[in-house]
Amino acid sequence: MHARPSPTEPAGNPPVGIACHATVEVRLSELPRLRDLPVPAGAPALPPRFLRHADEQTVVGMRAVLEAIAAHPLPRPSFARYGVVAATCRAGRFTAAQSLAMLRTGGGVTVTPHVVPQCALHSLAGAVSVAFGMHGPNIGAGGGRHAVAEGLATAIALISPGASAHAVVPGIWFVTTSWDDEPALDHSGRPNAAAAQPAPHDPLCRGLAVALVAAGDTGAAGGAPPLQLAVHPAACGPDPSRPHDPSRPHHPSRPHHPSRPHHPSRPHGAVASARSTDHAAHDAAVGSVSGSIAAEAAPAADAFTAAADIRGLARALVSAPPVAWSLRCPWGDEIRLESAAARAASEPRGWREAA
């Protein structure tokens, strides 16, 4: 039977259990080696050169999933029906900036077409799904400073309550990644070019993978998962300290993105005539775009927020004894990490099995 809320608890999603988890932290200079590093013992092998063209955050997120699978208690379940929710922060910007810089200096022949599928929001989720044969939904969530909150809320909502044997999705792999400090490039697209700094700029990329299952899933090794995540509905509105991403305005009065202004009075012919065929102007424009991506300051704050959220959740997962952790979502809800015993003691009339 499916679980339902008691009359004293607000409607929402029931808690989900954490079957296993792993965190990976890699410096930019170490990423080339990580692409071809052998998988950990107990994890399934990847196809040869599977990560050759992958974005750096995809490489780190994939390694976190491999480490989590290797750490999963035995016997491991089949992940064939699992889904994937990947929440990255500004993924693909580093590779896209490199491609624009190479286009400016070497022309179109220097830019690989793999940059398109490998730099999208759903690239990490798709790579995990394909690599491990997972046929559940694979979704890219977040993309900015609130990636962890948006991704966790999506993953928790996708797991059907009740016995996992009858659930549409028995489990979800939640994978989140972010740079602690976004890499910097010079005009030729080379990293670590901050010569004015006392030490080379070698930022850290952090990835966290968590296998989520229904909280009452006793099919997991060792019984029901001891740690749970739950979304608690908003009680006091959005968190003013976590402003909404300005590039993703709220509904229903969503203003048009300021970088894409409307031109209601401009005829189509004027749009067509505005497309310059001057190659020198084109090269200058491409150089300007690549330089702005490398030097843009706004994503640094996004990466700092997302990286802090990942770091906080990772530390809470490995602490002994377990500590409570919570994350206030920008829309007002709160995601909490609690032990199953503590939740049962504090909410004895919470989610229960229907009679």
Domains of the chain (ranges plus CATH)?
Answer: 15-217+286-319 (3.40.47)
pLDDT for the residue 302: 67
Name the β-bridge partners of 173.
84, 211
pLDDT for the residue 249: 44
Residues whose CB falls within 8 Å of the CB of residue 310, separated by 6 or more in sequence, listed in order: 23, 148, 176, 177, 178, 206, 207, 208
What gap in Å lies between CA 189 and CA 197, rounded to an integer? 18
pLDDT tens, residue order, the chain (355 aa): 333 333 334 455 688 889 999 999 999 889 999 998 999 998 999 988 899 888 999 999 999 999 999 999 888 889 999 999 999 998 888 888 778 887 887 777 777 777 778 888 899 999 999 999 999 999 999 999 999 999 999 999 998 554 444 556 889 999 999 998 888 777 666 765 444 444 567 889 999 999 999 876 655 555 567 788 989 887 655 555 555 555 444 444 444 444 444 444 433 333 233 333 334 443 443 444 444 444 444 556 666 789 999 999 999 999 877 677 999 999 999 999 988 666 555 554 444 443 3
pLDDT for the residue 171: 92
pLDDT for the residue 125: 94
The per-residue b/e assignment along 1-24, b for 16 or more CB within 10 angstroms, e otherwise, is eebebeeebeebbbbbbbbbbbbb
Residue pair 142/151 in contact (Cβ under 8 Å)? The answer is yes
What gap in Å lies between CA 141 and CA 159, rounded to an integer? 16
pLDDT for the residue 341: 65
What gap in Å lies between CA 128 and CA 150, rounded to an integer? 19
| Helical H segments across the chain, by residue range | 31-35, 56-71, 93-106, 115-118, 123-131, 147-158, 268-273, 279-295, 298-318, 340-346
pLDDT for the residue 342: 61
Task: Indicate the pTM of the whole model.
Answer: 0.74
Please, what is the Cα angle at 52 between 193 and 131, to 5 degrees?
Answer: 135
pLDDT for the residue 233: 86
pLDDT for the residue 346: 57
Q: What is the pLDDT of residues 249-264, one digit of tens each?
A: 444 444 444 444 444 4
